[in-house]
Amino acid sequence: MVRATLAALVMLSSCLAAAAPAPETRPEVPPTRLDRFKPLILETDDLRTVGKAEKTGDAKPAAPQVHVDAKAGAVRIPVTPTRTRGVVERLLSARGKHPAVSVLVTPCSAAEVAAALAKAGFEAGVRPQPVGSDRARPPSGTAVEITLLAKPSGGKVTRIPAARLLAAKSDGTPLDPGRWVYVGPQRIGDDTDSVLVTELSGSLATTDLRDSSAILYWVPRSDEPEPYARACYASRESLPEEGAAFELEIRRAAAGQPAP
């Protein structure tokens, strides 16, 4: 009797084992990617270490042609007129930096322009100094001549003083007498850890004394503190057609030469 019972139990367990479903096979879980949790907006310190992604086989674009004549104290950089109208803040901006408020833009970076001017022997000056809450003492430094060189296709080069590209009023009234002054790029920090502020702003030449990062400033003839809020307009100066080639020449002013 006992043997019969054991035999029946063995047969029952075999049947149950055969009828049981096969154990479930779960897919392997991939390791967690920590880079998924990086912030979308990087801090300033992170930007210093981020490199541009390059596709395999992509050719590196040619650097803009910057001409430096150290003996003559002159630099020529390629530019393009924005042909904007209305209020502007800058004569010249670096690539990708506020073209809507600039008369000219260059494919060069601010660092490239600053390096070229330093190579030409330009010495840094003094930036605009705040006076009260709404005025600034004009900057001081090396007086320079800035000229737009325009060459239409198949034509002769036309030289246009940069001050003529700007106006004091919307009706085209010329700027008050003054001069362009080189003060150099703005850098904060020390030799071991510094930031080129001018590279961030892209401000190369301006009439705005509130702009503390520009390399070149238009300085009125008066040495008295000037209002911060001084509107400036793109002039109605006629420029050659779109197909023309343009360069901006920045040259050390001759000693004793009167301001334009």
pLDDT tens for each residue of 153-171 = 888 899 999 999 999 998 8
Find all residues with CB under 8 Å of 92, minimum gap 6, and list them. Answer: 79, 102, 103, 104, 105, 106, 204, 205, 216, 248
Q: What is the pLDDT of residue 144?
A: 96
Phi-psi region of 192 (alpha: psi -120 to 50; beta: other; left: phi over 0): alpha
Q: What is the pLDDT of residue 38?
A: 40
Distance CA 184, CA 216 (A): 7
Below-50 pLDDT ranges, the chain = 32-54, 56, 258-260
Q: What is the pLDDT of residue 247?
A: 96
Q: What is the pLDDT of residue 179?
A: 93
Q: What is the pLDDT of residue 16?
A: 53
pTM of model > 0.85: no
Q: What is the pLDDT of residues 24-45, one digit of tens each?
A: 566 565 554 444 434 333 333 3
Q: What is the pLDDT of residue 39?
A: 39
Is the separation of the CB atoms in 215 and 202 below 8 Å?
no
